[in-house]
Amino acid sequence: MSESSGAPAPSSLPAEFETLELRRVDRYVLMVVLNRPAASNAMNTQMGLDLTRVFERFQLETGDVRCIVLTAQGEKAFCAGGDLKERREMTDEAWAAQHAIFEKMLRALIDCPLPVIAAVNGAAYGGGCEIAGACDFAYASSSARFALTEVTLGIMPGAGGTQTLPRAVGERRGKEIVLTGEPFSADEAREWGLINKVVPPEALHEEVLAVARKIAGNAPISVRQAKQSIHRGLQMSLRDGLAFEIEAYNRMVPTEDRREGVLAFNERRKPEFKGR
């Protein structure tokens, strides 16, 4: 994994989290690392709170971050889902209160204005699979496995799994995955549309960081507007989506970056985008 550049995250984010590690890979790329390897990076209440704080903050302030990579410590697990050891003695009321935190976390992740790429380095079960599905796109280690096992535990996916997964893999495949609770491989995840690319474990992070750097090198306002146009447009009729696209497009016209991009093209040089 690349060394951190030492550049800070947005000023309002703490340097350390109990369940996460934030690494500035370079000036524009931030890596958010799930950091509970002894628990297979399972999501406890604190991780839900930590992730919510990170991704909600980016809705208010991005600093100079232009792309985020979401991954996890270790090689065996990306995220094993909700921490069932923590949940073992929970009352119904405590369970519901914790799940409200997880729901808020998923909404914060989905609503993040910056591109978020998942680097799935191991097992992504339950909520871990849902987190991967909530990212803009995902690469996976060839050793990764996926599953939504909630129906085998007397519950059902409740952190976006019944919504994001079928949107990626289709309704019939989504029903098969959710209703059986059976695990599937990284190659199957790619074939079905949940994962964009399968990478050898030792190359995963460098592969994803190369893509993140490419995105971060593009005009940041353009990237954010294009992301929103795709995401929101797919929830509209085609005609409404086209109207939304033009509203997003018109945001580019008066920007310095648009002028810089055209000038750099004509001067045959790499543009220097400033996000304004």
Give 131-149 pLDDT, tens digit per residue. Answer: 999 999 999 999 999 999 9
Q: Under CATH, which number does the domain 20-216 receive?
A: 3.90.226.10
202 neighbors 108 (Cβ within 8 angstroms): no
CB distance 28 to 232 below 8 Å = no
Confidence of residue 229 (pLDDT cuts 50, 70, 90): very high
Topology of 220-266 in CATH? Lyase 2-enoyl-coa Hydratase; Chain  A, domain 2 (1.10.12)
Q: How many CB atoms lie within 10 A of CB 61?
A: 12
Residue 14: the pLDDT is: 62
Among residues 262, 43, 77, the alpha carbon closest in space to that of 158 is found at 43
* pLDDT at 1 exceeding the cut of 50: no
**Mean pLDDT computed over 249-272:** 89
Is residue 67 within 8 A of residue 29, CB to CB? The reply is yes
Task: Answer for the pair 273, 260: CB distance below 8 angstroms, yes or no.
Answer: yes
Q: Name the residue with higher pLDDT: 158 or 32.
A: 32
The dihedral of CA 25, 77, 190, 203: what is its sign?
positive
Structure confidence at residue 6 (pLDDT): 46
Active site residue 130: yes
- Report the mean per-residue pLDDT for the chain: 91
Indicate the pLDDT class of residue 267, thresholds 50, 70 and 90. confident
For the purposes of burial, counting CB atoms within 10 Å of the CB of 58, is it exposed (0-12), middle (13-18) or buried (19 or more)?
buried
Q: Which residues, in sequence order, are bridge partners of residue 82?
A: 43
Average of pLDDT values for 234-245?
Answer: 93
The residue annotated as part of the active site, out of 93, 150, 188, 272, is: 150
Percent of the chain with pLDDT over 70: 95
Active-site residue, 202 included? no
Instruction: Give the distance, in angstroms, between the CA of residue 53 and the centroid of all CA atoms in the same chain.
Output: 14
Catalytic residue among 3, 18, 130, 272: 130
Residues 121 and 201: beta-carbon distance below 8 Å: yes
Report the pLDDT value the prediction gives residue 40, as an integer from 0 to 100.
93
Confidence of residue 85 (pLDDT cuts 50, 70, 90): confident
Edge to edge, what strands does the sheet with 116-120 contain?
20-24, 29-34, 67-72, 116-120, 137-141, 197-199
Provide CB contacts within 8 A for 25, sequence distance 6+. 2, 4, 5, 31, 69, 209, 212
Domain boundaries, the chain: 20-216, 220-266
- 10 band by pLDDT with thresholds 50, 70 and 90: low
Its pTM stands at: 0.89
Q: Is the predicted pLDDT of residue 3 greater than 80, yes or no?
A: no
Q: Can you give the pLDDT at residue 11?
A: 53
